[in-house]
């Protein structure tokens, strides 16, 4: 298993429904993408990626696509790293 992350993507406001569907297929076709789902809420797409390299590099590649308005990365950790107790 490589490095995994969820990408939360906002699609540009001027993108039509047909263009958004094409964008979804474009992302789904990327080898690092496990799944991409359209969602309703603050974001338009949730994408899970897995890569042997840096998940940020995949996010940057997606962020350069013309239809992407913004993107946020949620890196998957092996444990609750943020909530670890300090070492004694």
Residue-wise pLDDT for 44-79, tens only, equals: 999 999 998 888 899 999 999 999 999 999 988 876
Contact 73, 59 (CB under 8 A): yes
Helix (H, G, I), strand (E, B) or coil at 34: strand
Query: How is the chain split into domains, by residue range?
Result: 3-77
Q: What's the pLDDT tens digit per position in 31-51? A: 999 999 999 999 999 999 999
| pLDDT score recorded for residue 25 | 96
In total, the chain counts a number of residues equal to 88
- Mean pLDDT in residue range 8-20: 96
Longest dimension (CA), the chain: 56
Position 13 confidence tier, pLDDT thresholds 50, 70, 90: very high
- The second-level CATH assignment, the architecture, of 3-77 is 2-Layer Sandwich (3.30)
| pLDDT score recorded for residue 83 | 61
Rounded distance between C-alpha atoms, residue 49 and residue 28, angstroms: 10
Rounded distance between C-alpha atoms, residue 63 and residue 66, angstroms: 8
> What's the predicted TM-score (pTM) here?
0.84
Return the residue matching tokens 């995949």.
58
| pLDDT score recorded for residue 69 | 98
Torsion of CA 24, 29, 32, 38, to 10 degrees: 20
């Amino acid at each position: 298993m490589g490095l995994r992350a969820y990408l939360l993507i906002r699609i540009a406001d001027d993108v039509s429904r047909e263009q958004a569907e094409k964008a979804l297929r474009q992302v789904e076709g990327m080898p690092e993408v496990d799944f991409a789902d359209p969602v309703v809420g603050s974001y338009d797409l949730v994408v899970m990626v897995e890569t042997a390299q840096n998940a940020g590099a995949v996010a940057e590649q997606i962020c350069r696509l013309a239809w992407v308005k913004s993107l946020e990365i949620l890196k998957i950790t092996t444990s609750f790293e943020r909530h670890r107790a300090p070492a004694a």
